[in-house]
Amino acid sequence: MAEKKQIPLRLSEKLYAEIAAWAEDDFRSVNGQIEYLLSECVRQRKKDGKYIPETMDGHHN
């Protein structure tokens, strides 16, 4: 299993509460829900063709 990068994340109390409720509905931890949502957004962006770089550093060749 690949090691995961830990990052600090600041969320408003309202957003955190919304994500926590959604996580509970989906039987995930809040951290797991955030990772799921970000992964889905990246996947959708690639699918839509709006994500061009092959690397995540944002540099275009």
- The string of pLDDT tens digits covering residues 22-59 is 999 999 999 999 999 999 998 888 888 776 565 555 54
Of the two residues 60 and 6, the one the predictor is more confident about is 6
What is the spatial distance between Cα 54 and Cα 61, in angstroms, rounded to a whole number? 9
What is the spatial distance between Cα 18 and Cα 12, in angstroms, rounded to a whole number? 10
Contact 53, 60 (CB under 8 A): yes
pTM: 0.70
What is the spatial distance between Cα 26 and Cα 19, in angstroms, rounded to a whole number? 10
Q: Where are the domains of the chain?
A: 13-47
Is the alpha carbon torsion for 25, 29, 34, 39 positive or negative? Answer: negative
